[in-house]
Amino acid sequence: MAAEPYNAFAIAQAHFDRVAEMLELDSGTRTLLRQPMREYAFSIPVRMQDGRSEVFRGFRVQYNDARGPAKGGIRFHPLETLDGIRALAAAMAWKCAVADIPLGGGKGGVVCDPHNLTPNELEGICRGWVRQVARDIGPYQDVPAPDVMTTSQHMLWMLDEYETLAGGRFPGAFTGKPVSMGGSLGRREATGFGLVFALREALLRLHVKPEATTAAVQGFGSVGQAAIAMYHELGGTVIAVGCWNQADQKSYTFRRVEGIDLDELVSMTDRFGDISKSRAEEAGYEVLPGEAWLEQDVDILIPAALENQITEQNVGRIPDCVRVVAEGANGPTTPEADRELNRRGVYIIPDILGNAGGVTCSYFEQVQSNTNYFWEKDEVIGKLNVKMTSAFLDVAEFAEKKKLSMRDAAYVIGVDRVARACRDRGWV
């Protein structure tokens, strides 16, 4: 294993082992489910703007497809590793099972920093990624989607390359496409909206009125922004947003104690969701250090950026008034921090439940693409609400019945459903 401070896949396997023990899985099933079924690692040569060619490293991991075609995003990030992708692919398998959609789990990535790439170079990476895996993906094998720093435009370039190679039109081969080109209405907002649907149910269980709550959010990409929009709709007040600043190569927290104005902050962001520090200051926001978002006197924390953000080192700075952590990101809480939050009785909506709205809407998009019949936005969001509410209730009721944390309950349900599919197919 690589000597990273947090090896995401080692953490995922340790967690899986604990869940396998709780489920008393036999050794064949454990061996099958504690590692990816298939994985691809490859080079993507790209002709850069200045005529040089640069080679990027790309990955696709198909963790398990017993319940349906592998499903999961493709991330563009300079610090991407194969182990990171493996961990995220495993999480996708459990997530799709918790959401109870007929899909398996996968994830892909490219080691690159889109901030420093031109649109042509990004298109080259997207098309090059597809050329390496075209034979092994597709509507009935593996369906990629956007993730960190990838967009609907990237999905369309990828789909175009796939369809060129496959010789036909296969709109269900990618999700997260532009709405004008076979995407689903509501897909962009789905992860954030879904998270807040789960949060609404959690607050109901805690007998807390959403309109009496405040929240701090980390991340101002599509997940963070949509979560804030839906939380505001429930009547809550977001007082702080933590956000990466590319120019300064560090994060800041933008605070306004009487409540942030979402549209105003959106108008100050660039295409990566970085908020302009000078414009925010001019508009009267306090600009605090990056981690300040988790020290605010709020009821709810919404980490909606990257993994490993709430750690053993900073968990002690989360004030006692925080009652709920709703995980919009994948893996934002390290296991040590998770234990501490559980000890303090914080109600955690774990990632594989909380952010399952994205892939659930991707499933709706696939259904629409495959049948070439598109739904109204209200219908999409209504169906998302139903799926998220029932996934939340499955997990919350199981957690209460078995006296498990919400995270353990979600993992037990997810792993159990995948294990059953493997057994039912006669694999183990």
| Active site residue ranges | 107
- Shortest distance, CB of residue 208 to ligand GLU, whole angstroms? 27
- Shortest distance, CB of residue 145 to ligand GLU, whole angstroms? 3
Which of 150, 330, 147, 302 has the alpha carbon at shortest distance from 226?
A: 302
- Shortest distance, CB of residue 142 to ligand GLU, whole angstroms? 10
- Shortest distance, CB of residue 135 to ligand GLU, whole angstroms? 20
Q: Closer to ligand GLU at the Cβ: 237 or 330?
A: 330
- Shortest distance, CB of residue 190 to ligand GLU, whole angstroms? 8
Which of 129, 139, 138, 134 has the alpha carbon at shortest distance from 108?
A: 129
Residues that bind ligand GLU (CB under 6 A): 71-73, 145, 147, 175, 330, 355, 358-359, 362
Bridge partners (DSSP) listed for residue 59? 41, 109
- Shortest distance, CB of residue 99 to ligand GLU, whole angstroms? 9
- Shortest distance, CB of residue 152 to ligand GLU, whole angstroms? 12
Query: How many Å apart are CA 305 and CA 303, to the nearest integer?
Result: 6
Bridge partners (DSSP) listed for residue 255? 240, 286
Q: Closer to ligand GLU at the Cβ: 182 or 210?
A: 182
Q: Closer to ligand GLU at the Cβ: 33 or 92?
A: 92
Q: Closer to ligand GLU at the Cβ: 58 or 358?
A: 358
Burial class of residue 55 (count of CB atoms within 10 Å of its CB; 0-12, 13-18, 19+): exposed
Between the CA of residue 263 and those of 200, 267, 269, 386, what are the distances in Å? Answer: 22, 6, 10, 28
Q: Closer to ligand GLU at the Cβ: 23 or 138?
A: 138
Q: Closer to ligand GLU at the Cβ: 225 or 355?
A: 355
Q: Closer to ligand GLU at the Cβ: 20 or 149?
A: 149
